[in-house]
């Protein structure tokens, strides 16, 4: 019996079972809703059966079903997803923050080249001498040229204790280099940095909400308070996409009185509704505290920031957060697969839900819109300050995001800074400490020369591209010759000059290039440490904590904050 017939029989059997279940459901409760379920299941199976039997090419049943499931779930919200057996390890990694591997971040500069981008300090890749900028050629003798980043990542990962051989090429080395590595458990601390910004202000940067992140935040805080004598604290949640709800509750519990309500969840299954309170003894409820957020702060980050705001425990600094107020649960399915499904919305102490997108009401094209301003409601914090629902957490003090020059953005997008940093590091065995390292004008001149040698660097702007299209249309329609002089003048005005523009934006280019270089010499921690002095959000947070009148005024409502501003101009789009 060939494979096609075997698959057909298997799926016919499955379809019969589905039909039997559907028929039983229908006989049990003959209402309209269950009839629609029966009808839909039967229609789906009928379409699948016909395709599998008569389609012109042989079908792949597993792919057809997976595609059907994925598209069904996509119509609900982006957080409800089917996880097949082969992706379970990736799901577990997201939850635990650990995996078996070598501690190497890779990227692809083109469709064929895999580059070592970043090393985790102290893990196998770092210990073996792999460097940022090395080009990976093969793994265990198998060429990986042209392979996808996902494929290569899966080959680098594996069972802890197993060995692999990576062959790479390096700038300045004529022969390929072989590295023998042993995989180990890779667990990156969710607290990527903590330390003192000055004699009184401590900083904790939390990157995600994986298992036990609350313990890491607690350890960092206690060290800053008890050993480094911090009297005020900044919790940085920028670009933190969230994670485990329970750990978000535990982190809030560290800073609010026992018994405080932190969160409630409400969904379709009322038995699953839950109220979360601070059940443990806090470690500090009085130290002045600022939380920094931006448009990349989502989910659990918003629970922490929003709850501390609602309880008037911390001042929130930065931008409006992302606006994800949905809760997911993972349900086990047949064949070791799982369904990660949105089951509830969460509500912080004031009673507000910060969900920004309304997935339950789509327009005629299926597009999802923001909760309209007309439906946004007013709520009160514990102390009576006004806050709003329907679109993320609004900061008490809004900090305008940095706007970089077009040339700076183009250099970053073209990976020019990383590529030059690799060349820079290959010629210098050591540099000054992160706090002391600075680039000179001569270094910038070297970078300019490097950029002008790169044939693949593309520098353009939306304005110049639009102008080129305008000239093309004007030629076709006969207007160009009549206005040739004006077109030439505008062309000269809009002409981009790499060297000139790099001089114009030299300060910000040098700063971004400095961070890339620090990341190679001192890993992620060094890059963070080197950026602390030029971070406007941190500067605002420090100034707010140092100004007792401002800090207390924001929390008691005597000084107006942006949190009470209903305008939606800071929404992520």
Letter string b/e over residues 492-501, b meaning 16 or more CB atoms within 10 A of that residue's CB? eeeeeeeeeb
pLDDT at 9: 47
3-state SS of 409-467 is HHHHHCCHHHHHHHHHHHCCCCCCCCCCCCCCHHHHHHHHHHHHHCCCCCCCCHHHHHH
- Per-residue pLDDT at 273: 94
How far is it, in rounded angstroms, from Cα 571 to Cα 573?
6
The whole-number pLDDT of residue 13 equals 52
CA–CA separation, 172 vs 456, rounded Å?
20
Task: Return d(Cα 183, Cα 163) in angstroms, integer.
Answer: 6
What does residue 4 show for φ and ψ, rounded to 5 degrees? -60, -45
In DSSP notation, 88-130 reads: HHHHHHHHH-EEEE--EEEEESSSS-EEEEEE-TTSHHHHHT-
Condensed to tens digits (0 to 9), the pLDDT of residues 141-166 reads 999 998 999 899 999 999 999 999 99
Q: How far apart are the first and last CA of the chain?
A: 54
Q: Domain-by-domain residue ranges, the chain?
A: 3-73, 98-187, 191-401, 406-540
Q: Is the dihedral of CA 537, 541, 544, 546 positive or negative?
A: negative
The pTM for the full model equals 0.88
How many Å apart are CA 174 and CA 287, to the nearest integer?
58
The DSSP secondary structure of 289-355, one letter per residue, reads EEEEE-TT--THHHHHHHHHHHTT-SEEEES------EEEEEEE-GGG-EEEEEEEEEE-TTS----
Which is it for strands 289-293 and 315-318: parallel, antiparallel or unpaired?
A: parallel
Q: How far apart are CA 44 and CA 66, in angstroms?
A: 13
Residue 485 Cα distances to 321, 480, 490, 492, angstroms: 49, 9, 9, 11
Calpha distance 192→176 (Å, rounded): 33
How many whole angstroms separate alpha carbon 77 and alpha carbon 428?
50
Name every residue whose Cβ is closer than 8 Å to that of residue 287 and which is 6 or more positions away in sequence.
225, 230, 231, 232, 233
Interatomic CA distance for residues 557 and 554, integer angstroms: 5
Fold of 191-401: 2-enoyl-CoA Hydratase; Chain A, domain 1 (3.90.226)
Which residues of the chain fall short of a pLDDT of 50?
1-9, 11-12, 26, 569-573
- Residue 9: phi and psi, rounded to 5, are -65, -40
C-alpha–C-alpha distance, residues 469 and 476, integer Å: 11
Scan for tokens 């500090």, then name that residue: 284
Residue 100 tokens, joined = 């078996």
Residue where the block lists tokens 């909760």: 371
Tokens encoding 405: 């020059």
Which residues lie below 8 Å from residue 126, measured CB to CB, with a gap of 6+?
103, 119, 120
CA distance 223 to 280: 20
464-471 — which CB contacts under 8 Å span 24+ positions? 464/494, 464/495, 464/496, 467/491, 467/494
Q: Which helix (H) or strand (E) holds 369?
A: strand 368-370
Mind listing the pLDDT tens digit for each residue in 254-299?
Answer: 999 999 999 999 999 999 999 999 999 999 999 999 999 999 999 9
pLDDT at 410: 94
Sign of the four-CA dihedral 562, 564, 565, 571? positive
- C-alpha to C-alpha distance for 523 and 527, rounded to whole angstroms: 7
Topology classification of domain 98-187: Pdz3 Domain (2.30.42)
Q: For residue 21, what pLDDT is reported?
A: 53
Beta-strand relationship, 184-187 and 98-101? antiparallel
Contact 314, 255 (CB under 8 A): yes
Rg of the Cα atoms in the chain: 28
């Amino acid at each position: 019996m060939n494979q096609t017939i075997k698959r057909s029989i298997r799926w016919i059997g499955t379809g019969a079972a589905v039909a039997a279940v559907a028929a039983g459901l229908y006989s049990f409760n003959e209402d309209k809703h269950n009839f629609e379920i029966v009808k839909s299941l039967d229609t789906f199976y009928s379409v699948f059966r016909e395709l599998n039997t008569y389609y012109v090419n042989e079908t792949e049943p597993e792919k057809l079903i997976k595609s059907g499931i994925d598209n069904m779930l996509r119509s609900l919200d982006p957080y409800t997803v089917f996880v097949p057996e082969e992706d379970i390890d990736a799901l577990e990694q997201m939850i635990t923050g650990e995996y078996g591997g070598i501690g190497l971040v890779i990227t692809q500069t083109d469709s064929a080249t895999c580059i070592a981008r970043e090393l985790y300090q102290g893990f196998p890749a770092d210990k073996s001498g792999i460097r940022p900028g090395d080009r990976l050629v093969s793994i265990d003798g198998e060429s990986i040229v042209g392979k996808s980043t996902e494929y290569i990542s899966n080959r680098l990962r594996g069972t802890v204790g197993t060995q692999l051989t990576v062959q790479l090429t390096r700038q300045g080395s004529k022969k390929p280099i072989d590295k023998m590595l042993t995989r180990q458990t890779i667990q990156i601390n969710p607290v990527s940095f903590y330390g003192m910004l000055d004699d009184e202000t401590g900083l904790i940067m939390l990157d995600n909400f994986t298992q036990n992140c609350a313990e890491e935040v607690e350890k960092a805080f206690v060290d800053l308070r008890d050993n480094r004598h911090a009297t005020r604290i900044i919790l940085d949640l920028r670009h933190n996409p969230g994670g485990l709800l329970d750990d978000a509750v535990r982190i809030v519990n560290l800073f609010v009185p026992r018994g405080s309500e932190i969160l409630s969840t409400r969904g379709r299954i009322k038995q699953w509704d839950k109220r979360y309170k601070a059940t443990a003894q806090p470690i500090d409820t009085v130290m002045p505290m600022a939380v920094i957020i931006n448009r990349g702060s989502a989910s659990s980050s918003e629970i922490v920031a929003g709850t501390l705001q609602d309880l008037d425990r911390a001042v929130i600094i930065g931008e409006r957060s992302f606006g994800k107020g949905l809760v997911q649960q993972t349900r086990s399915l047949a064949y070791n697969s799982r369904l990660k499904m949105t089951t509830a919305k969460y509500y912080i102490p004031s009673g507000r839900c910060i969900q920004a997108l309304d997935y339950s009401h789509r327009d005629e094209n299926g597009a999802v819109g923001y909760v309209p301003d007309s439906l946004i409601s007013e709520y009160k914090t514990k102390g009576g300050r006004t806050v709003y629902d329907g679109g993320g957490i609004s900061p008490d003090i809004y900090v305008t995001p940095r706007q970089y020059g077009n040339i700076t953005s183009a250099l970053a997008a073209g990976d020019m800074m990383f590529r030059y940093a690799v060349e820079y590091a290959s010629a210098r065995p050591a540099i000054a400490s992160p706090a002391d390292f600075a680039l000179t004008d001569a270094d910038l001149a070297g970078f300019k020369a490097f950029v002008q040698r790169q044939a693949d660097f593309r520098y353009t702007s939306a304005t110049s591209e639009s102008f080129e299209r305008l000239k093309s249309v004007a030629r076709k329609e006969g207007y160009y010759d009549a206005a040739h002089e004006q077109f030439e003048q505008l062309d000269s005005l809009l002409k981009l000059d790499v060297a000139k523009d790099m001089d114009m934006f030299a300060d910000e280019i040098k700063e971004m290039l400095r961070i890339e270089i620090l990341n190679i010499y001192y890993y992620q921690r060094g890059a963070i440490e080197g950026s602390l002095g030029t971070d406007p959000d941190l500067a605002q947070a420090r100034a707010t904590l140092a100004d007792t009148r401002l800090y207390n005024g924001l929390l008691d409502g005597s000084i107006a904050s942006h949190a009470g501003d209903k305008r939606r101009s800071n929404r992520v789009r």
